Homo-oligomer: A and B are copies of this chain.
Amino acid sequence: MIADLRALEPPQLESFTNSLVEQVVAAVTDKIPHLESSLAVAELTVALHYVLNTPEDVLVWDVGHQGYIHKALTGRMEELVNMRKPGGLSGFLKRDESPYDFFGAGHASTSISALAGVCLADQVSGKSRQRVAVIGDGSLTGGQSFEALNHLGSLGADALVIINDNEGSIDATIGALHHQQSYGTYVQSLGWQYTFLEQGNDVRALVEALQHVLAQPGPQTLHIKTKRPDLSPPKSYKPGTTFQWWAAETMGVVLEKNLDIQLLSPAMFAGSGFGPLRELYPNRLIDTGINEAHTVSAAAGIVAAGGKAWVHIYSTFLQRAFDQLIHDVALQHLPV
């Protein structure tokens, strides 16, 4: 399918993309928020595989749930119906699954670090190839993305980071960078060139923009705006039947009885069924962005300042705040 794509002329790319999207939507019927994220980058995915010589050129996706179109395009269309089922495809990118899945990702904010590793390895081996990472506006709120931009930006290597701004991850994106739309000054302060493309869902505009930035030397960013289609909403949880419902219900009682408690979560309120609570207490449920480390330390700061704080994190992401739990909460005897 990749070979078919590369044989096309640019005017044919739009209908190719539309047909691809139709097939993917038909195959994936659950995980709607993840599918929406994937569809927002359908044109980008096609444009990238058209312009790049993957898998020789390196393409790293941040958070694999952007990767459904990528999987379809790289030989896994027929298997999409079995995604997330026993023996079926992973819902995220997976190195074992395909040579096109250069780097796996379930958690956010790791892609630019991996890209930095590729640049360092290629410096030693002398390998010359394109090196591209795609990161969403939500993942960019995670501090590891800053660490990688700051480090890689000082190395001078040829690398491209695409900032995909779809106006929100699964939860709305928070933080000054997003509110101010100051991505340009941000990345420039870290040594990266900045190019902006408004039409992030126009596959031919994307191809032209990619060809332009990939021809430039040094660390490059391409900031694009994309639209996430609004598919039918995820099935609502039946009251009383899920852990999420129980957790939200219990937290509602806690918040009602303790007017001074603040509830912090790194972008996991909606996924946890806490949406209704957030409407009820907009000033007390605080979404901090995708940044588990900061969230735990900020909660410690609340308690040190005399307040009361509760942190809500999925257990799979709690590892990311492990040091903060020890260093900023336990060692300081702060009852977060």
Contacts and interface: CB of A to CB of B under 8 A. Distances in A.
A144 to B, nearest CB: 5
Contact of A104 (B190, B302, B319, B331): B331
Contacts of A260: 124-125
Nearest to A190: B176
B177 A118 contact: no
Interface in A89-137: 95-96, 102-104, 106-107, 110, 113-118, 120-125, 127
A308 to B, nearest CB: 8
Given A117-B305, A118-B305, A151 B294 contact: yes
Nearest to A188: B185
B179 A189 contact: no
A298 interface: yes
Interface of A: 58, 60, 95-96, 102-104, 106-107, 110, 113-118, 120-125, 127, 141-151, 153-154, 174-177, 179-180, 182-183, 185-186, 188-192, 260, 262, 264, 283-284, 286, 288-289, 291, 293-294, 297-307, 309, 317, 319-320, 322-324, 326-328, 331-333
